[in-house]
């Protein structure tokens, strides 16, 4: 059977082990539209660990810290590979930070952050399963409550 090979990139970033259902969400976080670089997005690839996974490769992209944190929240098992001259020079497992500043919207509609122009802040009480508490309204939320800014 013929298989479509996705070519390796010379310089850039590869995000691997994204749960398939979040592949396009991760692409959205990276805001790839209009980027003048090589971009490949693959999803529903077979994975021993995840069942189906996604991979995103972007030429020459250095990820912003806030984007890495957002990806860690929705795809905590994803890995980040930095490529130079077709070689992986650095491989990082994403980590959910202890404090999330301004990257998610509070899921409590009666929270002050949804009433005044304010940066949200959450404290991560548990990383697995994810449990976060709003600095302001103190409401506890899970992964499925997360809405990224």
Q: Torsions phi, psi of 82, nearest 5?
A: -100, 125
> Mutual orientation of helices 23-30 and 65-74 as an angle, nearest 10°?
170
79 binding other proteins? (CB under 8 A): no
C-alpha span between 147 and 149 (Å, rounded): 7
122 binding other proteins? (CB under 8 A): no
Based on its alpha-carbon atoms, the radius of gyration of the chain, rounded to whole angstroms, reads: 17
The residue range among 61-69, 84-92, 95-103, 133-141 that interacts with other proteins, by the rule CB under 8 A, is 133-141
140 binding other proteins? (CB under 8 A): yes
83 binding other proteins? (CB under 8 A): no
Q: Torsions phi, psi of 73, nearest 5?
A: -70, -40
Q: Which is nearer to other proteins, 103 or 111 (CB)?
A: 111
Q: Which is nearer to other proteins, 28 or 138 (CB)?
A: 138
Contact footprint for other proteins (CB under 8 A)? 108, 110-113, 115-118, 134-140
């Amino acid at each position: 059977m013929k298989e479509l090979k996705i070519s390796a990139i010379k310089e850039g970033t590869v995000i691997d082990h994204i749960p398939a259902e979040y592949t396009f969400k991760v692409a959205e976080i990276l805001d790839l539209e209009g980027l003048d670089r090589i971009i490949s997005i693959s999803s529903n690839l077979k994975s021993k660990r995840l069942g189906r996974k996604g991979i995103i490769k972007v030429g020459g992209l250095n990820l912003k810290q806030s984007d890495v944190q957002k990806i860690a929240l929705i795809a905590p098992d994803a890995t980040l590979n930095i490529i130079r001259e077709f070689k992986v020079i650095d491989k990082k497992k994403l980590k959910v930070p202890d404090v999330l500043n301004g990257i998610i919207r509070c899921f409590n509609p009666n929270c002050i952050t949804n009433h005044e122009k304010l940066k949200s802040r959450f404290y991560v009480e548990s990383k697995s399963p994810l449990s976060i508490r709003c600095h302001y309204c103190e409401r506890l939320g899970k992964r499925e409550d997360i809405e990224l800014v």
